[in-house]
Copies of this chain bind each other. A is one copy, B any other.
Amino acid sequence: MAAALLACDWGTTNLRAWTLDAEGAVVAHREFELGVSKLAPGEAARRFQAEVRPALDAQHLPAILCGMVGSTLGWTVAPYADCPAGLAELAAGLIAVEAGAASVRIVPGLRCQGLAGSPDVMRGEETQLLGWAAQRADLSRGRQVVCHPGTHAKWVLIEDGRIVRFVTAMTGELFAVLSRHSVLKGEGPSDDPAAFDEGLAAAGEGDALAARLFTARARVVGGGRPAESTPSYLSGLLIGAEVAAVPRLLGLDRDQSVALLGDAALCAHYARAFEQRGIRSETFDGEAAALAGLFALYQLGARP
């Protein structure tokens, strides 16, 4: 079927674009190294028209963009919608930008009351999360807890298809900076399942992280473990600490089952962490969810 929509997840490090037909099926897909962190002011609009649209033969399609493209670093600011919010609130908050004949609309991020009196925010995940919930009738009713791992992992409470509250945990960023810049830096890949499990066990109840982190050093210097296993151990320790402690911040029971949404390899690490704590989890594909969200927003009135 002919393409009807240009759907983009435009984040900090790259831009993923799809054309979808009138039923929401993928016609074509391309990725671009055009993350907003690499763009100069004004560059987003120009490169979108000059590179993204032609590459997907989508010069005349309406476009919907989610992610950091709606931040101060991106194309234009799409102000945050406040929780609780569902797809209807996101659709109502779409921001149209001037870009030639065909429409371009940017999805707002979400904001909620966070920890310590500061608002917590997300940009991009809201489209995946609400797209995910809209995919199946059983997910769009009742209460769902979703963990979306990443540089800034999101833990999200969804009730009847609307995001009620969420908490951000910068687990992925902690892993990156500690792996590169601290005494815990390691050269090895993160693919040692035994060391990962050892890290999970060392996470305890997710308290006293600065002390628990030092065990990643002590087990090598004093315990004779190979330094190559440090990245896997560190990954297990950080994910284990997150999984142990963050749900309580959302007021969740210890045994609440969790939906994992996002990158498959990262979700597999989290699934192992849940398994070790006796918590049920089910993993869902983040890309399919993002497409479902972008397409739903198109259907909800983003047609030009």
Q: Name A's B-contacting residues (CB within 8 A).
A: 80, 111, 114-121, 152-153, 155, 167-171, 173-174, 177-178, 180-183, 198, 201-202, 204-215, 217-219, 221-223, 225, 238, 241-242, 245-246, 248-249
State whether A118 touches B169 (Cβ < 8 A). no
Give the one of A115, A119, A219, A249 with max B CB within 10 A. A115
Residues of B within 8 A of A178 (CB): 177
State whether A242 touches B210 (Cβ < 8 A). yes
State whether A182 touches B177 (Cβ < 8 A). yes
State whether B222 touches A174 (Cβ < 8 A). no
Picked from B170, B207, B215, B221, the residue with its CB within 8 Å of the CB of A248 is: B207
Nearest Cβ on chain B to A92's Cβ, whole angstroms: 20
State whether B219 touches A116 (Cβ < 8 A). yes
Picked from B153, B169, B181, B212, the residue with its CB within 8 Å of the CB of A181 is: B181
- Interface residue SS majority, chain A: helix
Please measure, in the bound complex, the distance between the C-alpha atom of A213 and the C-alpha atom of B120, giving whole angstroms.
Answer: 12
Residues of B within 8 A of A169 (CB): 208, 210-211, 214
State whether B208 touches A170 (Cβ < 8 A). no
With A207-B248, A242-B210 given, is the CB distance from A116 to B215 under 8 Å? yes
State whether A211 touches B167 (Cβ < 8 A). yes
Picked from B201, B208, B213, the residue with its CB within 8 Å of the CB of A249 is: B208
Nearest Cβ on chain B to A243's Cβ, whole angstroms: 10
State whether A245 touches B167 (Cβ < 8 A). no
Please measure, in the bound complex, the distance between the C-alpha atom of A38 and the C-alpha atom of B206, giving whole angstroms.
Answer: 36
Q: Could you show 23 A-B contacts with beta carbons less than 8 Å apart?
A: A114-B215, A114-B218, A116-B201, A118-B215, A118-B223, A119-B222, A121-B218, A121-B221, A152-B214, A170-B210, A170-B214, A171-B210, A174-B210, A174-B213, A177-B177, A177-B181, A177-B182, A207-B207, A208-B241, A208-B245, A208-B246, A208-B248, A210-B238
Nearest 10 A/B pairs, CB to CB: A116-B202, A119-B222, A208-B245, A118-B219, A169-B210, A169-B211, A118-B218, A209-B209, A118-B223, A168-B214
Picked from B120, B215, B222, B241, the residue with its CB within 8 Å of the CB of A209 is: B241
Nearest Cβ on chain B to A153's Cβ, whole angstroms: 8
Q: A170-B182, A174-B213 given. 15 additional CB < 8 A pairs?
A: A115-B204, A116-B198, A116-B212, A117-B223, A168-B211, A169-B211, A170-B210, A170-B211, A177-B178, A177-B182, A207-B245, A208-B245, A208-B249, A210-B242, A211-B245
State whether A207 touches B210 (Cβ < 8 A). no
